[in-house]
Every structure is written in structure tokens, then in C-alpha cells.
Amino acid sequence: MRKTVAVVAFVLLFVTYALSAWSQPAAQPGDVTMKENLILNPSFEDPLQDWQAAYAGPGADAARDDSCAASGKWSLRLRSKSGETSKILLWKGPVEPNRRYRFEIRYANSIVGTDAEVAPCPLVRIWYPNGAALYFIGSHLADDWQTLVAEFTTPKDATTLNIQLYLERKKGSLWFDDAKFGPLERNGQPLVTAPDGNLLFNGDLEQGAAGQPYGWEAGCVFRGIYGEWLAMNKAGANVWSDEQPNSGKKCLAGEVQDPQKVHDIEWQQRVALNPDTDYKLSCWVRTDGAMARASAIPLKPDFSGVDQPLCYIGNTSSPTWVQVERTFHTPAWDGKSREVHIYLSGTATRPGGKMFWDDIRLAELGEIKGLKVEITSNKPQNAFATVQDATLMAKLTNATNTPMTVSGYYSIGKPDGSFSPPRPLLPETELAAGDSKSLPLANIAKEPGQYKLRVTLKSGDNTTQVEAAFSVGG
């Protein structure tokens, strides 16, 4: 009898494991995964740590709660009956510089026990000791459990960071559960930026929950998170829209019903940028009786206001989607990274005016990391006897652990110092991790003399350029 029971138990255990494995597909090669969850006690089943200090104004509190939970028995509750802010330090610790991280947490909200009309939004503040900070906002519509996702690249001077959860200046309650935070990797190797190179999270606007796109703030969080917008009785509205997006299913939108009450509609995301570095900001814009703008604005060191924009993409008005972009260079900033707002705004030129943004991208400009380029020939010192004999070889090697897409062209530097117009070298081609591609360049000179070969390669927003000298005899 005992043997039969043991066999049945083993079979049930095996079936349970098989069903679990079947319902959770294994990560495929090339998938981005979280290496580890750095948050201890992620479901708040154990008491909070001593350093997890909570702050709450009069009529507000922050504590573990067993009245509801996304999993297990306990959750973390922030509550305010007075409209005062309630917050808690969830995690602090060391991080690696120039590394991609992800933070996820489940949340729900309610206005039970207050006279509020709108539930509070969760606010996640990720801040560095040098003062730079990132903000990610959830939805006020989460009357059941939703997931807030934040993803970012640490600046090159990052050593530690802190994660705080806020109920910011609203009445009501927020519950949090199942927190995750950790570095991202691909094929077991560290991820140093988003897979497509975009420093902004959810730039294509496809990810979100409960009417709120992940990573983007509707208006400024310090206005009370939606409070003023909703109080305007739809004089203006921020919308995560499905109205004719440029790509995919979603875009950001703003609509002004009464230009006398609402002058601007705003969306923003914050990112910490490195000093003395080149960047490019681009987005697709469409309008209907409105003008749309985009800019990158840094905070002043004392946080008393904002500097002049590093990058300003001026008023755009077009009934069809158009791409606007601008490159800019960050100041030295005393050698420290700084928080910058990627700021989208629009103004209606008539009641009912709308503005739309999609495919918003911020990328660091520089050399292609991990691309090895060699220019060789079978002639000593690249010296050729005749014009017909002049053939060089460009060998490209992806020395990273992830695939990259590369395109390129070349030019010839003439004896008089000028360069020929660029000639095609390579259409957009994917180089698998560790792969090489050799490209012969024949008949590259028309007469005897001293020349240079200049090869320019592009991958995303990054560029690598190499030169090689060669000579052709008489």
C-alpha cells in the first residue's frame, strides 16, 4: 500500500512539474533575461529590514499588510488619509556601471476609507548618490493587481543606487507585492544597453497596463500625478492611444478641448546621461490642429529648476507621421552623470486639437562596440604594381556575444588630398556573435599615386571608421 501511494505521489509530482515547465516556456537563445533578483523578501512575507525606512506625513503610513496580496499572505501598503506623501526605501545596494537593469513590482490601489475621487498612482524613484534620479509611474486605474516595469542603463560613474516607492500627494492606498530587481543579460553575457540601443524604456509604446504606458509619465509627477489633469474636466487629456500609430498598436497622444484652460499637454521620461558625450534624440510626430515638440532638458545641480534644453526639436505640425531628430552633446557636468528629462509637449491651435508621438528614441553616439575591422592585402605595405592590381580586403568580425546589424560604405583618398564620393560596401547585414565577413575591394584606383582607403561602418546609431594607406606604381 505504501509503495502504491509513493508511486502515485511521484507521478503527480512529475505531472505537476511537466505542466509547470510546459506553461512557462524556456528562454530562447538571444532572449534578454534577469540574471538574479537582488531584492530579498520580494513578497514581504518576512518583516522589513532595518534600513527599509518609511516616511509618512500626518495621516499617512507605510507598513506590511495581510488584508490583500498578489501572492502569499503579505503585501506592502502605502496609505494616506490626508493627501500627505507616504514612501519607503525598498532597496539599496551596489550596481555595475554601464549595465542594463530592470525593476518590476505588482501593485493595486484603492480610495476606500478616504473622500478621494481618484485613486493614487504608484511612483518608483530610482536615485544615485550623486543626485541623478529616474521616475517611473503606474496607473491610477489599477483596482486589481497590475505590474509596473522600469528598465534603465546605469551611467558610467554609477556604483550604488536606491529604490523608493511613493504614494505622492494623494489620498488612498497602494499595495505592492512580488518585487524584482536585477541586471539583464543576453546569452549569459551582460547587457550594457537596450537590445536595440535605445536608452529610453518602452520607446515604441507597446508595453503598458491599466491605460498607462510603462516608463512614461503623463504630465509632471510633482503636479500630484494626474490630479490636476483629471480636475480639469477633460479640458485636456493625456492618452495612451491606439489611434493610427506610426508602428505597432500604441502611441502617446494629447488632446486639448479648451485651449484657454490647458495650454500644453506633456509626456516625459527621465534618464541619467553621461557627461561629455554625444547623443541623438528622435521621434515620429503627427498632429491634428496642434503643434508637437520634443526636447532633452537637464536638471540644475541644486534642483531649483531646469537648464536650457540640450536638445530642442521645434514645433512640428503635420497631418501625417514625420520623423524629427536632433543630435546634441552633454556638458562635462563636473565629470558626473546627470538626470535629463526627455520631454514631449504639444499645444493646440484650436479646440479638439491633438498631437501624437511614437517610436521615441535616445541613443548614445560613438564607435560600434565589439566590431573588429582589419584592412589587408597580399602585397607588402599595400604597394601595388598596376591599377588593375589594386585590391584590398576589409574583414569585419563581431567580437561580442550578441548578433549585430552592420552596414557600410567606403571612399578613396586621392593624391591631392580629396576623397571620392562614398561607394556602397555592405547593405544592412546581420553578423552573428563571433562571425566574420570578408569584403574584397578591387580596382579602387584609376592612376598611379599614394592613396587612402576610408571604410565607414554603421550599426544602429553608432559609427566606426578606419583608414589604410596604399600605393600604386607607374
**Cell 528598465 sits on residue:** 151
Grade residue 452 by pLDDT with cuts at 50, 70 and 90.
Answer: very high
Sheet strand arrangement including 338-348: 217-218, 265-273, 338-348, 290-298, 311-316
Q: Could you report the per-residue pLDDT of 324-371, keeping only the tens digit for each?
A: 999 999 999 888 999 999 999 999 888 889 999 999 999 999 888 889
Domains (range + CATH), the chain: 25-195 (2.60.120.260), 220-365 (2.60.120.260), 371-472 (2.60.40.3880)
Say how many C-beta atoms besides its own lie within 10 A of residue 331's C-beta: 12
Angle at 231 between CA 230 and CA 233, to 5 degrees: 80
Tens of pLDDT, residues 246-297: 999 999 998 888 887 777 788 999 999 999 999 999 999 999 999 999 999 8
H helices of 162-205, in order, are none
CA distance 85 to 78: 9
Give the residue, 134 or 9, on which the prediction is more confident: 134
Contact 38, 125 (CB under 8 A): no
pLDDT at site 373: 94
pLDDT tens column, 404-426: 889 999 999 988 888 999 999 99
What mean pLDDT value characterizes the chain?
A: 87
CB 125 within 8 A of CB 164: yes
Q: List Cβ neighbours of 93 (8 Å cut-off, separation of 6 or more).
A: 38, 160, 161
123 vs 341: CA distance, rounded Å = 16
H or E stretch including 4?
A: helix 2-23
Q: Phi/psi at 9 (nearest 5 deg)?
A: -60, -40
Q: Is the predicted pLDDT of residue 137 greater than 60, yes or no?
A: yes
Out of 189-198, 385-394, 436-445, which region has the weakest mean confidence (pLDDT)?
A: 189-198
- pLDDT at residue 225 tops 60: no
Q: Which of 44-48, 193-197, 419-423 has the lowest mean pLDDT?
A: 193-197
Report the alpha-carbon distance of residue 452 to residue 162 in Å, rounded. Answer: 51
Provide the percentage of residues in the chain whose pLDDT is more than 90.
Answer: 62
Q: Rounded distance, CA 13 to CA 5, Å? A: 12
Residue 236 pLDDT greater than 80, yes or no = no
